[in-house]
Structure 1
Amino acid sequence: MLPFVIVLWLAALGLSLATRFVHRKRSIFQDSGPRPRWHTAAVIVLMILALVGGVGGTVAVVRAGHSGAQAVWTE
């Protein structure tokens, strides 16, 4: 489960940093204008990583719980 947690954490950190970096470059007083090209691709990749980490972590927890229940309830 640890690899999925690490992937999820890195994806969340990456999304946070990508958003902060883009907003830092654009001033509040300037026209919002288009975002850099790399931002859209980076956000899509990081969102996919977050999805993989979340789903993989959930599956790992369910499988561990199920195997624990089987170990307790089977003779």
Structure 2
Amino acid sequence: ILRNAYDAVGLDPFWKHWNNRCVRTIVELGRNAGIDPKRTLEFEGEQHNALADAIHQAKYVSIIHQHLIKPVNNDI
């Protein structure tokens, strides 16, 4: 979204093109790892409110990240 906004007004973004990111990337990683908190995490607050949506997104991204970095048990 930010990249498109910068393009629309003729500004060069301050980040490198290889750092274009989207939350969809980590959501897909989570789904491939067997979790989907984007769908299963209960929404708190008013839906379609920008702040509430951002807080919800931060929560499910954090859950996915924690799942992906948890230590593997090699004692099996």
Larger helix fraction of residues:
1
Q: Which has the higher contact order (CA 8 A, sep 6+)?
A: 1
TM-score by length of 2: 0.37
TM-score normalised over the length of structure 1: 0.37
Which has the larger Rg? 1
